[in-house]
């Protein structure tokens, strides 16, 4: 069993100041697979102090120096991708094939994208005889989730380093192993001591200490809307910048007359992939009344054919949910929809046959879901699709936007016909006949899905301040 009971602070692996060890649980077995450490406020203080000392020097490094560091990180990451995939599979339950082909490469993609953005970024420009410059914001605190763990870490660390910032990272306590490996990669790449610091721990202790800390200039969180609100409230007293990528409840608006058998598989896959544990999963499938019966058959067949199996095995199956709490929440939402009048087409409550241990969920489809139901409003984070009919495209658009979230939206159907619909969808990412971002375009949400953007030049700019210089 792996042991990772230290923090990485000021270029060294150090013991926690008062933190206790805890078991990291393999969700496929509900048994420990690693040991982590719950950090303390004293650990955060030590990490912030190191980051503050390092900022002055690192912020003055040249673009070429930072490009060289990113090149070294990319090379080290490529060499250790199999290890990253393995710990993600064990700690959060992604099947090893998916972890190898999607989870681990996603993190690499963000470092490559950050390098590209840095190489082409215009740090200075003229404005009415003055100069406008972009420069690093300072010490950036980062709080990242368990569902796409290294993806979300890299989406923050890459551009923050590129911008000349220093970092204090708190990865998810559910799956700390990938962050430990990344810290080793960053150290081996020659990133100066204090520029990158890793403090393990949970949100109520380490996350809260970071949000409140006067020595942190910006906090960037990916997590639930509840967590994002708590961080913003804690950060308000120090007036630090708060950058949030929060929850979602994405619609999949299926246009009238769509060839459902041909076009739905690509977008329904977004509900299934990663066991449904994606904030952009297009779970609310909206179909025209004329095509509802056909859509029910097509979606039911896609989801019912989804195999569920051990994440350590290669194959095209899905694995378990991350923990007991998430398992119970998804079970409760499925049952609530049935109790409120939805029709169960496949799946339902309980574990799939042959999976008595672990947090496996039956891939599920519920039809006749209405906006009055809990499952319409609440983020499910499981392999659960809902079907709702609309009468005319105006009602379809209204239903698509009937959510406090606005992280992403999907349109299935003729791309030409989609052009009239896409501008009306209130979401930061709109995909047509697909469901995922590409890492280069801006990614972030409207409404309660947060603020700020990650990805490409937009993500780089969000980790910078803008200064006007007159007369120099």
What is the side-by-side order of every strand in the sheet holding 429-432?
Answer: 343-346, 364-367, 384-390, 284-288, 251-254, 408-412, 429-432
* Known catalytic membership, residue 90: no
DSSP letter at 305 equals T
Q: With beta carbons less than 8 A apart as the criterion, state whether 133 and 469 touch.
A: yes
pLDDT for the residue 440: 87
The CA distance from 71 to 27, in Å, is 35
pLDDT for the residue 184: 98
DSSP reduced 3-state for 296: helix
pLDDT for the residue 1: 83
**What are the tens digits of pLDDT across the range 122-141?**
999 999 889 999 999 999 99
Q: With beta carbons less than 8 A apart as the criterion, state whether 466 and 132 touch.
A: yes
The CA distance from 313 to 405, in Å, is 35
Which CATH topology does 2-246+449-469 take? Aldehyde Dehydrogenase; Chain A, domain 1 (3.40.605)
Dig out the tokens for 221 from the structure: 């969180």
Q: DSSP secondary structure string, 401-448?
A: T-SSEESEEEEES-HHHHTTTGGGS-SSEEEES-----SSS-B--EET
CA 48 vs CA 14, 214, 216: distances in Å: 14, 9, 7
Dig out the tokens for 30 from the structure: 């509900």
Q: Over pLDDT 90: what percentage of the chain?
A: 97
**What are the tens digits of pLDDT across the range 1-45?**
888 899 999 999 999 999 999 999 999 999 999 999 999 999 999
Length of the chain in terms of residues written? 472
* Known catalytic membership, residue 33: no
pLDDT for the residue 111: 98
Q: If you compute the radius of gyration of the chain from its CA atoms, what whole number of angstroms results? A: 22
Catalytic residue chosen out of the listed positions 173, 245, 296, 379: 245
Dig out the tokens for 4 from the structure: 């990772």
Q: Where in the chain is the domain with CATH 3.40.309.10?
A: 251-438
Dig out the tokens for 285 from the structure: 């499938």
Look at domain 251-438 and name its CATH class: alpha beta
Please return the burial class of 322, using the count of CB atoms within 10 Å of its CB with bins 0-12, 13-18 and 19+.
buried
Q: Which residues contact 352 (CB under 8 A, 6 or more apart)?
A: 308, 360, 361, 362
Q: Where in the chain is the domain with CATH 3.40.605.10?
A: 2-246+449-469
Catalytic residue chosen out of the listed positions 173, 174, 279, 296: 279
Regions of the chain short of the pLDDT cut 50: none
In this prediction the pTM is: 0.97
Dig out the tokens for 390 from the structure: 């609309």
Distance from the first to the final alpha carbon of the chain: 59
**What are the tens digits of pLDDT across the range 417-458?**
999 999 999 999 999 999 998 878 999 999 999 999 999 999
pLDDT for the residue 374: 98
Of 318, 324, 322, 368, nearest to 343 by C-alpha is: 368
The CA distance from 398 to 146, in Å, is 32
What is the side-by-side order of every strand in the sheet holding 2-3?
Answer: 2-3, 31-38, 20-26
């Amino acid at each position: 069993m792996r042991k990772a009971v230290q923090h990485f602070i000021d270029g060294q692996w150090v013991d926690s100041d008062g933190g206790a060890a805890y078991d990291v649980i393999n969700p496929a077995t509900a048994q420990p697979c690693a040991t982590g450490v719950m950090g303390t406020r004293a650990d955060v203080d030590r990490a912030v102090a190191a980051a503050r000392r390092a900022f002055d020097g690192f912020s003055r490094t040249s673009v070429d120096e930072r490009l060289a560091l990113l090149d070294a990180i990319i090379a080290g990451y490529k060499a250790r991708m199999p290890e990253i995939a393995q710990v993600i599979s064990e700690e959060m339950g992604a099947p090893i094939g998916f972890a190898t082909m999607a989870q681990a490469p996603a993190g690499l993609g963000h470092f490559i994208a950050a390098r590209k953005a840095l190489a082409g970024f215009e740090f200075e420009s003229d404005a009415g005889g003055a100069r406008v410059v972009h420069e690093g914001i300072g010490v950036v605190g980062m709080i990242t989730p368990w569902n796409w763990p290294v993806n979300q870490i890299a989406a923050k660390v890459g551009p923050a380093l590129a911008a000349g910032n220093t970092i204090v990272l708190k990865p998810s306590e559910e799956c700390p192993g990938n962050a430990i490996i990344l810290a080793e990669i960053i150290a081996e790449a020659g990133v100066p001591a204090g520029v990158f610091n890793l403090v393990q721990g949970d949100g109520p202790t380490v996350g809260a200490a970071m949000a409140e800390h006067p020595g942190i200039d910006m906090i960037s969180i990916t997590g639930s809307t509840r967590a994002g609100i708590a961080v913003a409230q804690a950060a308000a007293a120090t007036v630090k910048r708060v950058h949030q990528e929060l929850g979602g409840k994405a619609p999949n608006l299926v246009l009238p007359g769509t060839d459902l058998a041909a076009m739905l598989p690509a977008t329904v896959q977004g509900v299934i992939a990663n066991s449904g544990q994606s904030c952009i999963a297009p779970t609310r499938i909206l179909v025209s009344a004329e095509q509802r019966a056909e859509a029910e058959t097509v979606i039911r067949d896609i989801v019912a054919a989804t195999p569920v199996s051990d994440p350590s095995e290669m194959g095209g199956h899905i694995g378990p949910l991350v923990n007991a709490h998430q398992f119970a929440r998804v079970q409760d939402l499925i049952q609530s929809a049935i109790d409120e009048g939805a029709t169960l087409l496949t799946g339902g409550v309980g574990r799939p046959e042959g999976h008595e241990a672990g947090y496996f969920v039956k891939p599920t489809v519920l039809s006749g879901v209405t906006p009055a139901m809990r499952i319409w409003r609440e983020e499910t984070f499981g392999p659960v699709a809902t079907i709702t009919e609309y009468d005319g495209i105006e009602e379809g658009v209204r239903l698509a936007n009937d959510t406090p979230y606005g992280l992403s939206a999907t349109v299935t159907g003729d791309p030409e016909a989609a052009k009239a619909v896409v501008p009306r969808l209130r979401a930061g990412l709109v995909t047509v006949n697909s469901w995922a971002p590409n890492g280069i375009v801006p990614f972030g949400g409207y409404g309660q899905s947060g603020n700020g953007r990650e990805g490409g030049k937009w993500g780089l700019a969000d980790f910078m301040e803008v200064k006007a210089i007159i007369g120099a």
